[in-house]
Structure 1
Amino acid sequence: MSDSMNNESVGVKEEFTELDWITLKNDIGSEQMIHQETAGEKFQRKFKENPLVPIGCGLTAGALCFGLMSFSRGNRRTSQNMMRLRIAAQGFTIAALMVGIVKTSLK
């Protein structure tokens, strides 16, 4: 009888230790209010840190869309030029990312 009670009490202790992180999280949250950054705020912060990356992404997307429209209309020459521009814009974006990484690592 005492063995079964000991096993049950051990199980209860293990259950409490598994759920301790919940009370810890609640305690931390109640002491200080942590500001959760919205998607718009994060975009603004990242744009201020390295504005060339979103610009490069926009150029890439624009060249892709215009190139696909030209392709669907049968304008092969413009479509080919837009796909080449898209590759150049992707290269620009990758270069901007690398510059941002180096800049951040030097801080």
Structure 2
Amino acid sequence: MEVMSSSNNSWFPSQDDSEGSKLLRKSKESPFIPFGIAGCLAIVALGLNKLRKSEHKMSVHLIHMRVAAQGFLVGAMTLGVVYSMFNERIWKPRQK
């Protein structure tokens, strides 16, 4: 079994990685990460806006927001996995 050093593994940050550069690097590797983050933030913003106008109990509203955010993130993760599988198995073999 081969052990990878931290300089070869992109999931472990090096000492000079800032949060912004790490997010940009991850966005290039997995383009659905920013999509998932933006979608989750949009759901939270819309949910908070609806909370002011709603007559439901707060607990019911928060449960609905949580389910919507989780559903969106699971969908984004699924699309990301399908994209990476398609990229590795169909596009890269054609380029060789």
TM-score, reference length from structure 2? 0.49
Q: Which has the larger radius of gyration?
A: 1
Which structure ranks higher in relative contact order (CA pairs < 8 Å, sequence separation ≥ 6)?
2
